[in-house]
Structure 1
Amino acid sequence: MAGRIEGLAIVDLARRLIGAELLVRGVGGIVIETEAYGRDDPASHSFRGPTRRNTAMFGPAGHAYVYRSYGIHLCLNVVGRPGEAVLIRALMPTRGQEAIAMRRNSPALCNGPGRLTQALGVRPEDDGAPFDGGDLSLTLADHPGPLLTGPRIGISRAQDRPWRFGLAGAPGLSRPFPA
């Protein structure tokens, strides 16, 4: 998987991940929403350079960057070029729905980065792990379908960048896209 994404600009990677199948220990589905975060991006964890928290973001392409948001929820990202990653915001469940429903205990299964990681059973120790088919697997789609584009959400800096992408018509996006 890493070879197919290595060197892609972060916005291109965020688009390319729409329609991909994401599995965490055999549970997952189709990625329907992403957000891009670049190295020169003031909203990115990598903006000020490498730290203990963001080490995985500067690691190899095709690996996970997992961090805790607001001290509560884990968030799952796919590393592209050094210091760049794509946040997986929403997923349409296709495998392990029983496990997903049990973990979430809510009709809102995978719409939002915190819900998604809870539903898939993402762990802090997944930080830096490869999407190579072991615990984490990511299979890119040949033709994902029409994309929606809009500004990123839930951030306080660089909100105007149209670096959020979604699969048009997909149920379960974290928030509607602007018309």
Structure 2
Amino acid sequence: MAQKPKSTAPRLGKPLKRSFFDRSVHEVAPDLIGTTLLVDGVGGLIVEVEAYHHSEPAAHSYRGPTPRNQVMFGPPGFSYVYRSYGIHWCVNFVCEKAGSASAVLIRALEPTHGLAAMRRRRGLGDEHALCSGPGKLCEALGITIAHSELPLDRLPYALYARTETPEIATGVRIGLTKAVDLPWRYGVKGSKFLSKKFAST
């Protein structure tokens, strides 16, 4: 009897609970590096994120609640999905206590689960380019506005703790015109799956 091929996907850690996000966005953001994000079983290791705090003008919540960003003012551990430049979906994880309106933007993944589905959705084969940007990863994982305001510890989302701690690089956030000097971008140092290299790597 022929043996089934062994899975090349890395071992998953313990599922993350919503309480993981009930902390400062500046604690949650670096702690997300190396965790695994799956949407309907498709996804990979989070290798790059950006933190957004309600007190700074680059945050969508800076000027208060709107129909679009209302979920940011609710409890932590929920998703906030918005369309960037009218083209790409971007997914964020709401952090801190209800009302604080802070969130982490997921910028890049290292694909590990469901690569065939990602390649089909993205129309390309290079795994390094599948999820190397917030819009790319949402397309690869099939994330749309329908995935906004959903709890992160229930399907279709699944988040798993990292099984090892990577070396983390920090730098300024990308593509902003406000609060451009804040070093609130975090990523796996030297990763080939980043949206953009860090200056220190």
TM-score by length of 2: 0.86
Matches within 5 A, 1:75-90: 75-81=90-96, 82-90=100-108
* Structure 1 Cα separation of the partners of residues 83 and 108 of structure 2: 17
Residue type at the aligned position of 1:27: V
How many residues end up aligned between the 2 structures? Answer: 178
| 1:88-136 C-alpha deviation (Å, 9 max, x unpaired) | 0000011000000111112320000000100000021111101113101
Task: Note if contact 2:20-2:28 (Cα within 8 Å) is conserved in structure 1.
Answer: no
% identical equivalent positions: 47
Report the equivalent of 1:129.
150
Task: Note if contact 1:16-1:140 (Cα within 8 Å) is conserved in structure 2.
Answer: no
| 1:51-92 C-alpha deviation (Å, 9 max, x unpaired) | 101011112211100000001100000110231000000000
Gaps of 5+ in 2: 1-16
* Structure 2 Cα separation of the partners of residues 92 and 142 of structure 1: 15
Matches within 5 A, 1:89-168: 89-106=107-124, 107=126, 108-168=129-189
Matches within 5 A, 1:1-12: 1-6=17-22, 8-12=23-27
Larger of the two Rg values belongs to structure: 2
Task: Note if contact 1:20-1:144 (Cα within 8 Å) is conserved in structure 2.
Answer: no
RMSD: 1.0
Residue type at the aligned position of 1:146: E
1:68 counterpart SS class: strand
Residue type at the aligned position of 1:172: F
2:187 counterpart SS class: strand
Runs (4+) off by over 2 Å: none
* Structure 2 Cα separation of the partners of residues 30 and 133 of structure 1: 18
* Structure 1 Cα separation of the partners of residues 141 and 182 of structure 2: 28
Residue type at the aligned position of 1:112: G
